[in-house]
Amino acid sequence: MRKPAATVAFPSSVAGKPIRAADASSLEYAQYAFQLGSGSADPWAPFVSKLDWDVARWAKLHGPGSTALTELLQIEGLREALGLSFKTADELNKKIDSLPSRPRFKRDEVIIANEAFEVYYRDVIECIKAIYGDPEFAKHLVFAPECHYADRDKTIRMYYDMYTGKWWWNTQKVVESNTPGATIIPVLISSDKTQVTLFGNKTAYPIYMTIGNLPKEIRRKPSRGGHVLLGYLPTTWLDHVTNKAARRRTLTNLFHSCVRRILHPLKSAGRDGIAMASGDGVYRRCHPIFATFVGDYPEQVLVTAVKYGDCPKCPVSHNDLGDYDADCDYNLRDMDSVLDALSTLSDGASVFVKACKDVGIKPVQHPFWEELPYVDVFQAITPDILHQMYQGVMKHAIVWVLKAGTAAEIDARCRRFPPNHGIHIFTKGISTLSHVTGHEHAQMCQLLLGLIMDVRLPDRVSSSKLIRAIRALLDFLYLAQYPVHTSKTLSHLQDALRRFHDNKDAFVELGIRDNFNLPKLHALLHYLLSIQLFGTTDNYNTEYTERLHIDLAKDAYRATNHKDEYPQMMAWLERREKVLRHTNYVAWCLAKTTAPLPQSSQSTSEPMAARAEPPRTGLIMTRWPTLKAVPIHVIRSDYGARFFADAFTRFVVKYNNPQLTSAQVEDATGDVFLPFQVLPVYHKIKYGLDDVSRVDGASMTLRDAVHVRPATTDKRGRPIPARFDTVLVNLGSGKEYGYRVAQVRVVFSLPPRAISLLFPQKPPPKYLAYVEWFTPFASSPEPNSHLYRVSRSVNHSGDRLASVIPVLQIRRSVHLYPKWGPSVPREWMSSTVLDKATSFYVNPYLDRHTYMTQF
């Protein structure tokens, strides 16, 4: 992790600057206290005590339904014993309703085709103020764009948060030319229908909003409250409209009419600006501007009004979606031409329809973005890793692989991968799976390249092109998810896309495809531009809205009686938001501090370099060993550490005498005697790996573990096979030559008496491991798969080479693809494949940490 080598601020002395300094009355929590009417120092008001508030908070966030809560409160003596100020759920609701309000929902009607439809929404400006003015976000907000570079010469541009992208910079220039001193608020809108019941077809159509001034580290965590529910759109299917074309046209017009009504206040506010206070009480002239839309392909088509099957960003025809030209820029649709076509609505239906057809859109009356300032809707459509990649391109690729290698062979390989903490073994294969989730597709992608290595293709067709095509897709997938990009990594992204298109005819030669006219595959061409404009793809990930569905749609629906549910859902959400806001206020009162003033107009977060040194790891061991006293003969037999005594004595000699040569060490081992018969043993090593998207000062995330245990049985006496994971060992010399793969056989520590006898000068590290080595990495990977190949390191007698090393030298777990051969031997099993197979490939797709280390 390192900071940008050079930063260029926006060339204006007034861009993003305050128009009024903070004072006591403008502080958000001070205003909250005034609205609360709390003149006393009691932080729990309007509740009578801490316990009163804690019970109320629990009841609204985690508690039972209203009826159950009322019955609980009516248990004789309970309320008096706890000193509660409310007797029923209704009384609690009234008390919460009295808290200062967040933006309120309102009901409206939209008339389409002479039919009225209900839409529930909030004032979008008030929602923006609620996020922008939240004291919890005050120190994190960004108010002006910047250009960041990875080198001092400013030749390698960096992209990560939204303010480092070109869109904010370019828009700031335009706005500054009209109204200097602007603070742009990029508005990110997302919408998606979701089913709110496990059975049946009850759906909700929420529309969400967040702002780009918040760092993505906050926006990506729904628990931080960086998103707000703008409203619920109508979910009608218009079944009474029998003509399908008329039904689609009406639904499209209904969507745009509703969203236009919700976002209409952005028209004047975006153009003229509006005074807005951040959570520290500082006022700026803010211009909220619709920047990006986050949604899956059907939503993208709906928003842009293009025909289904076409690209929502560029005018490439459907029959050309599968083409790729490295020299073509794939320019976006012309927004001015589209607006000109939309302006012909008053010239008559036939003229309007023809004008829209000529520019490649459907004849939608007044799309919601038509009059919004500084908006290019085709530019606003962003990449969608979940639906475009995992549920789109990679879903297709998995089907293609199953057809290429036969389902039976692919399923057999799926069952026989060695285990790893981050790998899911598909014990029933993948060919028969249905309703596969994005998470499951991600698990398959970890194994996909290993599934096709050495596979026998029909008619003895070479698998080289197939392997290169799948490798390219996987590289694109992992590179597209980098949390920080540079000009160099973006060139790698484009190269991966080029490599896929250079080798995609492998699927044509196998008779699997006759064209690649897939909108989601074509969309990969636009990733480069979107990242340059709006920052990395984790700024606009549909996975965030999928999580929001649970909190703001499904849980809200389940809290109703399922009759006339929307007013109940809105009341439930408003109370929930009030409780969460009051929780922050209580914490502020108890801390007896005001919201911190920002140190600068920029974010306090610092990015990591996209191609910096591999992220650090932290070792985490249990306080006590799994087994306190394991005999040495059991370590040799059950754990498979056959040469434990020899390896340990070599470690003792080398540690005490690091200057000795290997031959001298062997000669000296005969003088070492083991002063113990049993050892404490650990069956798991945990690692806190630096998340590649972390910022300086952020804590590590537990995301890796190494399992080291012999065969045993469960509570019912059923056998549990032994498991000895493979790891990446740091030899200290850097790059591929400084790391080596090993299999851990036992992890142990030494008794205090043994330490004093064996290491009189300097005690060894507390945790040691007996490992069996694999061959060193070659100078270059395999030519087609770009995988490093390793095998067991053995001596002249065929015995595995083993060593005792400090556990601190183990960097993390590593996963290996077995070299299957044309057909996987059916006697191999997941638990035995590391012993049965003779050669392996190192899996770079275990996780993002592994990929960035190996790529």
> How far, in Å, are 179, 201, 635, 739 from residue 173 at the CA level?
10, 48, 69, 49
Q: What is the pLDDT of residue 703?
A: 83
> How far, in Å, are 481, 680, 704 from residue 423 at the CA level?
19, 29, 11
Q: What is the pLDDT of residue 692?
A: 52
Q: What is the pLDDT of residue 689?
A: 75
The mean pLDDT value of the chain amounts to: 92
Tokens coding 124: 């979008």
Question: Hunting for tokens 């049946």 — which residue is that?
Answer: 200
Percent of the chain with pLDDT over 70: 94
Diameter over CA atoms, the chain: 101
Q: What is the pLDDT of residue 14?
A: 95
pLDDT grade for 599, boundaries at 50, 70 and 90: very low
Q: Out of 34-43, 339-348, 792-801, which region has the weakest mean confidence (pLDDT)?
A: 34-43
Q: What is the pLDDT of residue 736?
A: 58
User: pLDDT at residue 853 above 90?
Assistant: no
Region 137-148: mean pLDDT is 97
Query: Is this structure's pTM higher than 0.75?
Result: yes
Tokens coding 50: 């801490």
User: pLDDT at residue 42 above 90?
Assistant: no
Determine the Cα–Cα distance for residues 473 and 468; give it in Å rounded to an integer. 9
Region 388-397: mean pLDDT is 98
Q: What is the pLDDT of residue 602?
A: 41
Determine the Cα–Cα distance for residues 600 and 480; give it in Å rounded to an integer. 31
pLDDT grade for 734, boundaries at 50, 70 and 90: low
User: pLDDT at residue 209 above 80?
Assistant: yes
Read out DSSP for 469-485? HHHHHHHHHHHHT-SSE
The per-residue pLDDT for range 235-269, each reduced to its tens digit, is 998 888 888 888 999 999 999 999 999 999 999 99
The per-residue pLDDT for range 500-538, each reduced to its tens digit, is 999 999 999 999 999 999 999 999 999 999 999 999 999
Region 490-504: mean pLDDT is 98
The per-residue pLDDT for range 19-40, each reduced to its tens digit, is 998 876 668 888 888 888 865 5
User: pLDDT at residue 217 above 50?
Assistant: yes
> How far, in Å, are 738, 764, 769 from residue 757 at the CA level?
32, 12, 20
Tokens coding 496: 């991966």
Domain range summary for the chain, segments of one domain joined by +: 105-382+540-591, 385-534, 617-814
The per-residue pLDDT for range 285-342, each reduced to its tens digit, is 999 999 999 999 999 999 999 999 999 999 999 999 999 998 888 999 999 999 999 9
User: pLDDT at residue 601 above 70?
Assistant: no
Element (H, E) at 617: strand 617-620
